[in-house]
Amino acid sequence: MADMPARKRIGLVAHDQKKADIVAWAARHLKVLQGCEIWATGTTGGHIAEATGLPITRLKSGPLGGDQQLGAMIAEGRLDVLFFFVDPLASMPHDVDVKALLRISTLEQVVFACNEATADFVITSELFGTPYQLERAPHG
């Protein structure tokens, strides 16, 4: 059984071309995000914190290990939701890390939003601010 507390533990990441989008998104959802524990990859976290004043624990830059740090947090059950604004038209030199994040998020039942529309639906869901329990069979 996976348990998510009412106060969600979230990760924020954005490709270079999507950093302005995630900053604007965070500003629009500031009230909800103020009630969350937030981690972000280095540059993304810096931009969001500067624009919104949100307390954000900054990890390394994504390609320098930040994506892997988020993956480890997911594997350890320390993240509930990952907002990763992906630019599908840009080449991704660390594509393997992105795929690994998607794989571990799926395996561990972490909510994963990779575009603004999905992120809007997730953060405005009535489930977002409540405890959530998911019963599932253990995996190997």
Dihedral angle over CA of 57, 124, 53, 20, nearest 10: 90
Q: Do the Cβ atoms of 13 and 66 come closer than 8 Å? A: yes
36 membership: H or E segment, kind and range? none
CA atoms within 13 A on the CB side of 90: 12
- What is the pLDDT of the chain when averaged over all its residues? 92
Catalytic-role residue among 67, 80, 95, 120:
67
pLDDT of residue 46 exceeding 70, the answer is yes
Hey, what are 22's tokens? 């995630």
Q: What integer is the mean pLDDT of 49-74?
A: 94
pLDDT of residue 70 exceeding 90, the answer is yes
How high is the pLDDT of residue 98?
79
pLDDT of residue 101 exceeding 80, the answer is yes
Q: Where are the domains of the chain?
A: 12-127
| Residue, of 58 and 140, whose pLDDT is higher | 58
**Of the options 3.40.50.720, 3.40.50.12160, 3.40.50.620, 3.40.50.1380, the CATH number for the domain spanning 12-127:** 3.40.50.1380
| Residue, of 61 and 36, whose pLDDT is higher | 36
| Residue, of 140 and 67, whose pLDDT is higher | 67
16: annotated active-site residue: no
57 burial via Cβ count (<10 Å: 0-12, 13-18, 19+): exposed
How high is the pLDDT of residue 1?
42
